[in-house]
Amino acid sequence: MIDDIKLFSDNVKAMHWNEIQFKYYYGITDKLQAQFPTEIEQLRSKLQSMSKPGTRAWKQWQFIFEDIFQPLNRIHFENGLPKELLGIGLGFKLYRALIEHLKYACSEANATDAAKRIWDKLFSDNTLICYKFSTGQYLAISQQSTITERKKIYDTWENSMRGQLNANNATLVSNQKIHNLSQYK
């Protein structure tokens, strides 16, 4: 098993985020399961089968995102990542691929420390349009979205948090130096 985990880890490190696809988990439209390139997917399945079905360890090898709050695409891993895979960049790749798949995603201020580190890395990715409130909420939008889609996404996100943000005198920053925030006002 240790050799398989190392091989999985090495393959994931070499994989680009855009090689990850998503499918609905048993047709449930608010749960998306990551699908890796064939060799990695076969290893994932083998490693999952080594855990007792139904346990947290078994579920962690499914790589399921749960989309809790529509229409915001507030995402998180339903069961977290297997501890053997922490620190190899898989979380970032999964979040980045999912943002591209959904066109956007956001976080809440109460995200886990691991999720906050991923969101900080996403904010540094200049291939995404990202916003961050000083209170800890993030929004990441794919540049593949249209200006009209971006406006709707931004307005929905900002409106959903307006009460919390005003109460905390939150400030907004963007990762795009030339991005004009006023185009969304």
Domain boundaries, the chain: 1-100, 103-185
Burial label for 93, CB within 10 Å (0-12, 13-18, 19+), is buried
DSSP state, residue 52: P
94 token code pair: 């999964």
* pLDDT above 50: residue 171: yes
Over residues 106-125, the pLDDT tens digits come to 988 888 888 999 999 999 99
DSSP state, residue 17: G
Q: Which residue, chain included where needed, has tokens 């593949």?
A: 144
Q: Which residue, chain included where needed, has tokens 């229409």?
A: 71
> Which of 64-73, 88-97, 164-173 has maximum average pLDDT?
88-97
67 token code pair: 């989309």
